[in-house]
């Protein structure tokens, strides 16, 4: 809602693309100052410029979310620039590799867990103390429908997203009485660069995968942004520890 986040500060990771960019733009439209963090500084800057072009206030920060020192620096830079942190969207991540459990190498497994799961813990580890100092805040973590169900060929990815929901629920319990709401989004299959890479690698997979979506189309990043911004809004004041599914009926099957 326009003006809902006036005077508030939102931090978004993976802000240079897909869900992160769409959510950064929506937070800004609704009045938030936005910190756009991404390992790719150039795309994060593009998002910040898109916000500035519409009269909003944003900065871009280069952050590798799998590195503790960089995540700590990201939160410090947010508070240094805007003096507070109200909403955090821990979203940056990488996709699955289309390999069976025995085909994943140790490096591939470790990298997936570091970027998709450890990153979410690191984000909350450094965001929560700031939110406690201010008396509250809202956190949304990006899980996936494969945080709830499995899908073949994605073992490390599936494990990372199940883990994100475990971390989300635990933090929700720990901070329930301290003014910090913690939720997750569980996207189905969306048309973002992450999936495009997979579809390009496996010709025909885009058409084949669509058959698994009862709604008959893929999601658009703006449809995740709407869910994230709503979860951070006062309208969601009693929604806490919730894995919000946005999947065009995929998990209803
Ligand atoms: N697209 C989907 O269908 C889908 C479905 C379920 C979950 N997800 C999850 O949503 C999140 C965003 O996905 P997307 O589809 O927008 O992908 P995307 O590839 O469009 O965007 C991901 C962004 O994260 C950044 N990033 C990657 N590694 C990083 C790191 N180590 N540190 C900081 N930034 C890093 C990339 O540079 C990119 O800008 C991911 O966690 C992904 O697993 C996506």
**Cα dist from 140 to 51, 76, 180, 213, 216, whole Å:** 21, 19, 11, 24, 27
How many separate domains does the chain show?
1
Cβ-Cβ contacts under 8 Å for 207 (sequence gap 6 or more): none
CATH (domain of 38): 3.40.50.720
Tens-digit pLDDT profile for residues 99-135: 999 999 999 999 999 999 999 999 999 999 999 999 9
221 Cα to the center of ligand 1, angstroms = 11
Percent of the chain beyond pLDDT 70?
100
Q: Is residue 2 part of a domain?
A: no
User: Is residue 89 in some structural domain?
Assistant: yes
Q: How far from the centroid of its chain's Cα atoms is residue 110's Cα?
A: 20
Decide: 44 in ligand 1 pocket, CB within 6 A: no
Q: Among this protein's residues, is 218 annotated catalytic?
A: no
pLDDT digits (tens, 9 = 90+) for 85-106: 999 999 999 999 989 999 999 9
Reported pTM: 0.98
145 lies in some domain: yes
The single residue of 104, 157, 175, 198 carrying the catalytic annotation is 157
């Amino acid at each position: 809602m326009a003006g809902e986040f006036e005077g508030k500060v939102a931090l978004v990771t993976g802000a240079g693309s897909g869900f992160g960019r769409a959510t950064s733009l929506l937070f800004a439209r609704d009045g938030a100052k936005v910190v756009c963090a991404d390992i790719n500084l150039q795309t994060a800057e593009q998002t910040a410029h898109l916000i500035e072009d519409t009269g909003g206030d944003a900065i871009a920060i280069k952050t590798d979310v799998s590195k503790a020192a960089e995540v700590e620096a990201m939160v410090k830079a947010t508070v240094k620039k805007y003096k507070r942190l109200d909403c955090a969207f821990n979203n940056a991540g990488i996709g699955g590799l289309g390999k069976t459990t025995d085909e994943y190498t140790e490096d591939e497994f470790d990298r997936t867990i570091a970027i998709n799961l450890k990153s979410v813990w690191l984000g909350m580890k450094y965001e929560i103390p700031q939110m406690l100092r201010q008396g509250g805040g809202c956190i949304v973590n990006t899980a996936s429908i494969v945080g709830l169900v499995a899908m073949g060929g994605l073992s490390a990815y599936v494990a990372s997203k199940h883990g994100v929901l475990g971390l989300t629920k635990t933090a929700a319990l720990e901070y329930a009485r301290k003014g910090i709401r913690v939720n997750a989004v569980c996207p189905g299959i969306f048309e973002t660069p992450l999936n495009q890479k997979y579809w390009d690698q496996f010709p025909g997979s885009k058409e084949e995968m669509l058959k698994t979506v009862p709604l008959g189309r893929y999601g658009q990043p703006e449809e995740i942004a709407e869910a994230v911004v709503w979860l951070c809004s006062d309208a969601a004041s009693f929604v806490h520890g919730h894995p919000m599914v946005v999947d065009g009926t995929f998990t209803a099957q």
